[in-house]
Amino acid sequence: MPKGEGKLIAQNKKARHDFAIEDTYEAGIVLQGTEIKSVRNARVNLKDAYARIEKGEVLLHNMHISPYEQGNRFNHEPLRTRKLLLHRKQINKLIGETKEAGYSLVPLKMYIKDGYAKVLLGLAKGKKKYDKREDLKRKEAKRDIERAFKERQR
């Protein structure tokens, strides 16, 4: 984890495949009631999640936090929009960068650091299909080289 150590809760592996990550930001997240209990049980899905800046606030959309089993009527809406906590300077910088065409805010990881839930946001630029194929070829070639090197060591 680049910006701090913590217990990894969820990771968006598809984000690094679909996007080229330019920069990362660590953000706190505003949770309601039993949501933190579900987060601590790693009942989170970041697959289709994205962040958007609206009215000077960073909001996280489509992140699924499963309802807590013992939560009964105090449970929350699993796909509700959640507010992310960033410094004003960071938000202003993100506003300027996301205005450029092709840039998005994508959650990469969710973890617990010092008892607080944190989200690692990536400033990302969408990859084209040929870029994805190129990355897969590069990754496969690296894997083949490592495999050959490992067999040579024996």
On the question of pLDDT at 27 being above 80, the answer is yes
Mean pLDDT of the chain: 86
Question: In the predicted model, is pLDDT for residue 3 greater than 70?
Answer: no
Nearest C-alpha neighbor of 51 from the set 117, 93, 114, 103: 103
CATH class of 7-127: mainly beta
- The domain spans of the chain are 7-127
At 56-100, the pLDDT tens digits run 899 999 999 988 888 777 787 888 999 999 999 999 999 988 887
Helices (H), the chain: 13-18, 35-40, 88-98, 129-153
**pLDDT 10s digits, 111-125:** 999 989 999 999 988
Say what the pLDDT of residue 28 is: 94
Contact call for residues 126 and 102 (beta carbons, < 8 A):
yes
Closest listed residue to residue 59, CA positions, set 34, 33, 94, 89: 94
Tokens of 120: 């690692």
Judge whether residue 2 has pLDDT over 70. no
Q: Tell me, rounded to whole angstroms, the distance of Cα 79 from its chain centroid.
A: 15
* 103 within 8 A of 123, measured Cβ to Cβ: yes
Q: DSSP letters of 76-121?
A: --TT--EEEE--HHHHHHHHHHHTSTTEEEEEEEEEEETTEEEEEE
Distance CA 112, CA 42 (A): 10
